[in-house]
Amino acid sequence: MSRYTSETRRRWPKVILWLVAIVLALFFGGGGWYFSDQLKADAFDVKPHVREYRATVTQVDPGSVTIAQGDPTDGELFNTGVFGLVWESGYGTVSDISTQTDMEATRTFTLQGGNPPTIGTKVDIDPWIYPDDYAAALGIEIQRVEYLSPLGAMDAVLVPGTSTTWAVLVHGKNADPRETIRLGGILSEAGYPVLAITHRNDLDQPGDASGYHRYGVTEWQDLEGAVDYAFSQGADEVILGGFSTGAAIVLSFLEHSERAEAVSGVMLDSPNIDFGATVNHVAARRSLPLIGLPVPPPLTWVAKTIGSFRFDVDWAAIDYIARADTLAVPILILHGVEDQSVPIETSRELAAMRPDLVTLVEFEGAKHVQSWNVDQERYRDEVLAFAAEL
C-alpha cells in the first residue's frame, strides 16, 4: 500500500504536466485558429466600401443636430473634428460637440445639400466628408479615365492641373478614391493634376488572384500602371500619396518599381506600413471569447503564424519599416495620435530611422485617417509646405 501510494505520488507531476500541455495545446491551437479566422475576416477578406445608415437623428435645432448611434461599438459620432453627415436625400457637416451621453451627441450642423434631416432620419457619419466624387466635392470638371495594370484596365479619376508634376493618390483597404479627396483637393488647388486611382479588389475592378488583400505585395503593380499612365499624358515626375494600407502600396512601389526614380516625394496619411505591428496593436484591445480577458501576445503570434500558412502571408515582406534604409525620396507622414487602427508608433519608428527623409506631423485628438478632420488648416499648410520644398 505504501509503495503504491509512493508510485502514485511520483506519477502525479507527470500527469499534471501532460494535462497542462494538453490545455495549452488546445488553447493556443484552437485559439490561434479562431483568431486567424478573425484575421482573415478583418484584414484579408475583400469588402468594398458600402455606405450604411446606422445612426438616427433624434432632434433638430437651428445650427445643431442630435444623433443617436445605432451600435455602441461605433465611435465616429464622438470623434473630434469635422465630419460629413449623409442621409438618403441630403448631406451636411457636423463639427463641435455641445453635449453627449453614452449613445447620443449634439453637434454643430451645416446643411450642404438636399433636404434637411428630420427626427428619425437614418444617417451615416462620414470621415471622408464628401458624399460624392471629386467633381461634386470640388465643384470642378474631372475626367474618368482608365489605366492598365497587369490584371487589365482599371478606373481612375483625373483632376486636370497645370503642373507637369502629377499627384497619384492611393486609397486604403476596402475604401475607394473618395477617401483621397481631402488631400487631392489641396493639391488640385495648388495646380497639380491629381490622379486618384482604384486598384485590384476594388468594387467593379479586377481582383487579386489570391482573393485577398496583399498589403502592397501585388498591388504595387497597379500603381506602376497608374504612374505609366501619368507619364503617357505628359507628367515628367510624380508625387505619390497613400492612405492607410494605400501607404503600404506606395512603399512597395518604391521598393520594386523601375518607375520609382520618377517620384519626387511621398505623402502618407495614417500609414499602415508594418501590418504585423498593426495586428498586434488591434489584438491587444480585444478580449478572449467567454473569458473576457485580454488576448495574450503569444496567442496573437500563434494566430499570425497560422495565418501565414492559411493565407500565404509573408509578414516580413509587409514590414516596410524594416527596409527603411532603401528609401530615397522625401516623405511626409500625417498621423493622428489617437489612431486605434494603425499605431502611430510605426510612423514614429520610420521617422526615427530616416530623419534625413521622413517628416512626421502628429495630430492630437485625431483617429485613423482623420488628421484633416481635426485641423484642416494645419493639414493644408503642412502639405503645401512639403510640396513647395519638392
Task: Give the DSSP H or E segment for 360.
Answer: strand 358-363
**Rounded Cα gap, residues 340 and 271, in angstroms:** 12
Cα-only R_g, the chain:
24
Alpha-carbon distances of 332 from 49, 244, 291, 375, 389, rounded to whole Å: 27, 14, 43, 16, 11
pLDDT tens-digit map of 181-217: 999 999 999 999 999 999 999 999 999 999 999 999 9
Angle formed at CA 73 by CA 279 and CA 181, multiple of 5 degrees? 70
* pLDDT on residue 7: 61
Residue 347 CB burial class (10 angstroms; 0-12, 13-18, ≥19): buried
Residues 6+ apart with CB under 8 A from 315: 275, 276, 304, 308
Query: From the CB of residue 212, how many other CB atoms can be counted at a distance below 10 Å?
Result: 18
* pLDDT on residue 341: 95
Mean pLDDT, residues 234-241: 98
Angle formed at CA 162 by CA 158 and CA 166, multiple of 5 degrees? 50
Residues 6+ apart with CB under 8 A from 177: 133, 134, 156, 157, 169, 171, 196, 197, 198
| Rounded percentage of the chain residues whose pLDDT exceeds 90 | 78
Pairing mode, strands 143-149 and 152-159: antiparallel
Q: Which three cell numbers stand for residue 356?
A: 534625413
Residues 6+ apart with CB under 8 A from 21: none
* pLDDT on residue 18: 46
- When pLDDT is cut at 50, 70 and 90, the band that residue 10 belongs to is low
* pLDDT on residue 25: 47
**Rounded Cα gap, residues 249 and 317, in angstroms:** 12
**pTM of the entire predicted model:** 0.92
**Rounded Cα gap, residues 211 and 201, in angstroms:** 8
* DSSP character at residue 308: H
Angle formed at CA 85 by CA 83 and CA 87, multiple of 5 degrees? 160
pLDDT tens-digit map of 15-57: 555 454 454 444 445 666 777 888 899 999 999 888 889 999 9
Q: Identify the residue with better confidence: 243 or 293.
A: 243
- Best CA proximity match to 316, nearest among 258, 277, 355, 269: 277
Alpha-carbon dihedral of residues 91, 97, 98, 103, nearest 10 degrees?
Answer: 90
